Chains A and B, each alone.
Chain A
């Protein structure tokens, strides 16, 4: 399969580097060493960061306490969480420039039949768990996938936060792509307005409203997609599509929440050391909540 629609580039694809902007300087360095070495380098960095950041240490310890029993296991999980965060960052940086061969090496897809059954546009819904660049990997494997990753972040140049209009423009581009048959990979727990939260022992997850809005306005099927690391292999699991959009918005969101909650809690039970969303700060959300107040009548 080849990409079907050469519509204008999504914001994410216009960036010189798609990973965390403050780590862009590592790109030349990590390109010179092997993948395991680059992963170990970043793992050492993120462990050091975890040990020196009260915030990261706190959330990781709370998470570990909720997913282990013995004191030793708690320490082991805390360090594994930090180390995997580094390895995933290294992958994100390395794979940004890698060709299809590098992206698709050591990859297994489970639930491929759900992709093969798709007709027309769709939303592949990821979460910040497990190895990154899942959308780009699927595209490298030949599926008609575009990554919407950080809709609006492309406008964040120089630390300026994207305006609602700029973010809406990103959503509109995504809508057009889906309408034209593209499978759009986007994260449910990225940035933007909060839709609902999922209770997970140790740390709840914030699910955003962007994908729900795209689902409503396009009627496209939504397939949750998660990825995990097993040794050097990346295993991408494609789940069955969510139910069709229901006219009752509250009921619709409630059903979506139930499916995502079961999926995320199952993942957290089995692979708690790969749940990188745990280390994400919500400071940006608190700032956004402070700047957007209800209008006075």
Chain B
């Protein structure tokens, strides 16, 4: 079963990193910031692009270091949680 939000997140990342640097078979468990896919600058650019794409804000308390950007799946979960919070409030 596909997850549309995960696909959109992957599309955002692919736009930043480029198609040739995006794994062909990437899924929820694909690591983002282990130095193979995205570097530090690209991680920040992905963060900003996600803010624009999904209308969410990443807070200032170290979400990057805390694990939200570990894998494509964790990032998607973070975005979903932010979208849910926005909808419920």
Contacts and interface: CB of A to CB of B under 8 A. Distances in A.
A173 B38 contact: no
A163 B33 contact: yes
**Secondary structure dominating the interface of A:** helix
A7 B59 CA distance: 12
Contacts of B48: 175, 217
Nearest to B65: A169
Interface stretch (A74-82, A101-109, A289-297): A289-297
* Complex A-B, nearest 6 residue pairs according to Cβ-Cβ distance, in ascending order: A167-B40, A168-B43, A169-B64, A165-B33, A168-B40, A169-B65
Interface residues of B, number: 28
Contacts of B37: 295
Given A164-B33, A213-B45, A295-B21, A173 B40 contact: no
Nearest to B23: A295
A169 B62 contact: yes
Given A172-B62, A213-B45, A292-B35, 8 more contacts: A152-B40, A165-B70, A168-B40, A192-B40, A210-B40, A213-B41, A294-B20, A295-B21
Contact of A165 (B20, B41, B43): B43
15 contacts: A164-B33, A165-B33, A165-B64, A166-B40, A167-B39, A168-B41, A168-B43, A171-B40, A172-B64, A175-B44, A193-B39, A210-B40, A217-B44, A291-B35, A295-B36
Contacts of A100: none
Contacts, number: 85
Contacts of B3: none
Contacts of A166: 40, 64-65
B47 interface: yes
Contacts of B24: 297
Contacts of B63: 172
A210 B36 CA distance: 18
Contacts of B47: 168, 172
Contacts of A165: 33, 40, 43, 64-65, 69-70
Contacts of A163: 33-35
A166 B35 CA distance: 11
A212 B62 CA distance: 21
Contacts of A7: 60
A74 to B, nearest CB: 39
Counting chain B CB atoms within 10 Å of each CB, which of A169, A192, A210, A292 scores highest? A169
